[in-house]
Amino acid sequence: MSELFDAVDALLTSRAVLPPPEERKRLRQSHALTIDEVASALKVRRATVTSWEAGRTEPRPPERDAYARLLDGLAKLYPAPAPADGPAPADDPAPAGTVAIETAPAPAEAAPAPEAPTATVTPAEARTETAAVSASEHPQTPPPTAQVPAARPARATGPASTSHRPGTRKETPAADPAPSTDPRFANGPLAVVDVDEDGRVLAYCTGGLVLDVPAKSLPSLVDWTLKEAGLGQPRLSGPGKDADPLLVLTESACERYGLPAALTDEERIAGRLPEGHKVIKQLVRAEWKLTKRGFGPWARIYRPATGSERACVQLCVPSWNALDTRHWGGAGHLPPAELARVLGVYASRVMTPRGSTAVTGLELMTALHPPTRASAPDENGERHSEHNPGSLGKDPVDPAPCEAPDGHPVLKDLPRFHVRGPGEQLFEEAYDWARPMTDAECTLRHLVGIDVNLAFGAGANGLIVGLGAPTHVKNPVFDPKLPGSWLVDLSHADLSKVKVAKDRWAELDGDLLPSPFTPKGDRPTGPAWYATPTVAYAVELGYEVRPLEAYVRYDNGRYLDGWYNRLRDAYLATMADLGVHADTAPEDFLAAMEGWKDRDPDLAIVVAAVKATVKGGLGKLRERPRAEGWRPGEPWRALSRPTWRPDIRAAVISRTRTNLHRKIVKHAAFTGQYPIAILSDCVVYAAAGPSPLDFLPYREGKPLPGGFKLGVNPGLVKHEGT
């Protein structure tokens, strides 16, 4: 009889009533439990627990019994807050075009207002419905900082599917990208492909849309993406090209389509699968091609373009380290819906990722300034390809000898093992400087670091850079508006007396200041090569400059302005979603920056990726050889790009360093305080208190003109640490 009672008890437990999904998440967070800890205790996948908390799936026995026991114990420790007095609000009506799905009701006293269920449609119907919502609710593209709730797209399934499950729950809809107004790309720029517990292949798109994927092989997946998925992104510039759709393959999707979940050591070193892999053979049989970099963490699968029509799909494999943790944090381990949200926000505000953040930063420059454009119609009414003014063109140019890094072909005639000094090599790098503290500074209790927001992006803003090849000039007259490299002797600059305004000079302790002309802060000892911003700053400080020779670029322009503006807007919009807004009082800004990453960890990943895109994109302008059998004096692969421009990188770093030094000089002249150390864009001061406000000279909320100012905008500073 006891066995019968145990069986009956098991049946009762298997039907245990679980709290609604939002309550499940609240209970877990109240006890400071992570999703990984719950998943490990219940012996399920992390994505499974995420699905339970999002309401996409319900636990089944025996996990349901243990999960109910856990939630019941947490509910006793952390009771739900009492509902506010007053009548309950009416349920939100379902959006037009959705189909109601009958679900089991949750207890009325604990249930939040129900979210509108989603429809079961085909991918084509999903594109039509999303376009209709976009046209009616979003007639114009909102500015980057606008708080626009994303429409709730339907979960699309194949015609033969009979199961109905709600789409992805969006906890912060303001950060989700709005539906595309281009009907060709109505389902967004990308999708994360995953296999659920029932064995179905699902594509998680931006905005919460989930598509059923009927493809059984990788070639058919590529075909489906181009013909039915409705993925992609419109061009960023008139003469440019539309962004190719991006598919992100999870580990389960890799296994489904015959790819390894992780690369072997040999494959990881090579950066690709071997040519004889069965999936590559499938692609070859289906007449698909791979680019020269092969099938690696970021792979392009294409067929040669016919006319203006492109047939190309890009793949991203996070388990192969496609999303570098240094730049994307833990994005590669997020559940599919959350990963789609992170990459979707980045794609809508920056561009669809085309590789690492460095590669994407470089590709963004080209997307905003394509090398060619269509000409005006000729006498026969035909258009031809011509150079696009303001771009770098389609052919690479050689750098000046002083701008070339060691081993470059233009230096092949130098003796072997020759070490070039400042008079032979342009060496513009960020600060790495420190000095001993004075006795007065040692009496202060704190060292406070302040960091310049998006410093290298701000250095690129409004900067005139060369677009073409350099011209060598002997004994030139310095022109601050002419980009190039100048051989100048600045050893007479001692910083003891500098010009801080048009007719105002200040006497400073030059021994406590770094030199603005060298990365290590040392005073120059003779003629050296400098980029235009460095020499222009020497003139600004009141020093005489007489260049001995120069390599200047008469073809020039503000090539990086559009690039900076797009990354700045992406940065500010995402920080605003995290509760940090521009133009706030310094005290409010410091308070908003406390714990900003914890408000939405997914958006914090986007911020880190945007910042890495700035630094990485500029670093790619001077990309060095990556083995590949290279020998000094021979060209390497990056030299074939027109965007291999070490002079542009040097100019940006030069301007960033001099911008920082200008603020340091203004601060020292006004307060008598000098920095203790500088690393790149972070400056450390000794202070009596732990806050930047303990040494920054604010008067009635207004900062020192030309000095440091607290704020989120690029070029302003934030509290780095104490």
- SS3 string of 545-592? CCCCEEEECCCEECCCHHHHHHHHHHHHHHHHHCCCCCCCCHHHHHHH
Look up residue 343 and give its two tokens: 């990459």
Q: Which of 355, 388, 409 delimits the end of a domain? A: 355
- Of 332, 355, 378, at which residue does a domain stop? 355
Mean pLDDT over 174-193 rounds to 81
**Model confidence pLDDT, tens digit, residues 480-503:** 999 999 999 999 998 998 888 777
**Number of compact structural domains in the chain:** 2
d(CA 134, CA 163): 27
Lowest mean pLDDT among 10-14, 129-133, 531-535: 129-133
Verify that 186 and 298 share a domain, yes or no. yes
Q: Is the pLDDT assigned to residue 139 strictly greater than 60?
A: no
Of 435, 468, 477, 489, the C-alpha closest to 675 is 435
CB-side neighbour CA atoms (13 Å) of 47: 16
Mean per-residue pLDDT, 160-189: 58
Q: Check residue 167 and give its pLDDT.
A: 36
Q: Across-strand partners of 192?
A: 204, 248
Spatial CB neighbours of 238, under 8 Å, sequence gap ≥ 6:
373
346 and 205 fall within a common domain: yes
Per the CB < 8 A criterion, the answer to whether 157 and 203 are in contact is no
Q: To the nearest whole number, what is the mean pLDDT of the chain?
A: 85
pLDDT > 70: what percent of the chain?
A: 84
Question: Has residue 180 got a pLDDT over 70?
Answer: no
308: which residues sit within 8 A by CB, 6+ positions away? none
**Is 90 exceeded by the pLDDT of residue 559?**
yes
Q: What is the mean pLDDT of residues 130-142?
A: 37
Q: Are 478 and 485 in contact (CB under 8 A)?
A: no
- Could you read off the pLDDT of 293-350 as tens digits, one per residue? 899 999 999 998 776 677 999 999 999 999 999 999 999 999 999 999 999 999 999 9
Residue 135 lies in a domain: yes
The answer to whether residue 212 is domain-embedded is: yes
Token pair, residue 452, equals 């310049």
pLDDT at 174: 53
pLDDT of residue 6: 61
CATH number, domain of 19, equals 1.10.260
Q: Is the pLDDT of residue 355 over 90?
A: yes
pLDDT at site 96 = 34
Which among 312, 338, 355 is the end of a domain? Answer: 355
In a domain, 393, yes or no: no
Residues with Cβ within 8 Å of residue 661, at least 6 apart in sequence: 514, 516, 537
Q: Which of 13-27, 343-357, 526-540, 667-681 has the lowest mean pLDDT?
A: 13-27
265 with 146, same domain: the answer is: yes
- pLDDT higher for 118 or 698? 698
Determine, yes or no, domain membership for 278. yes
For residue 703, CA distances in Å to 448, 502, 530, 722 come to 18, 20, 31, 21
**CB of 340 within 8 A of CB of 190?**
yes
Whether residues 253 and 187 share a domain: the answer is yes
pLDDT above 60 (res 133): no
Q: 297 and 219 in one domain?
A: yes
pLDDT at 134 exceeding the cut of 70: no
Residues 169-195 have a mean pLDDT of 74
222-277 pLDDT tens trace: 999 999 999 999 999 888 899 999 999 999 999 999 999 999 999 998 899 999 99
Please choose, from the candidates 260, 184, 270, the residue with its C-alpha nearest in 3D space to the C-alpha of residue 228: 184
Nearest to 332 by CA among 318, 320, 344: 318
pLDDT of residue 40: 83
Kindly state whether residues 204 and 319 are assigned to the same domain.
Answer: yes
pTM for the whole thing?
A: 0.77
Do 73 and 131 fall into the same domain? no
- Look at residue 433 and tell me if it is in a domain: no
pLDDT digits (tens, 9 = 90+) for 632-666: 899 999 999 999 999 999 999 999 999 999 999 99
In a domain, 255, yes or no: yes
- What integer pLDDT is reported at residue 340 of this predicted model? 96
Q: Are residues 35 and 172 in the same domain?
A: no
Q: Is the pLDDT of residue 614 over 90?
A: yes
- Look at residue 72 in the predicted model and tell me its pLDDT: 86
- Does residue 153 belong to any structural domain of this protein? yes
5 vs 189, residue with greater confidence: 189
Q: What is the mean pLDDT of residues 165-188?
A: 61
Within this chain, do residues 14 and 157 fall inside the same structural domain, yes or no?
A: no
Range of the domain at 22: 2-77
Same domain, 43 and 137: no
Residue with tokens 């009635």: 700
Q: What is the C-alpha to C-alpha distance for residues 90 and 440, in angstroms, rounded to an integer? A: 66
Flag whether 441 is in a domain.
no
d(CA 294, CA 271) in angstroms, rounded, equals 8
Element spanning 474, H or E: strand 471-474
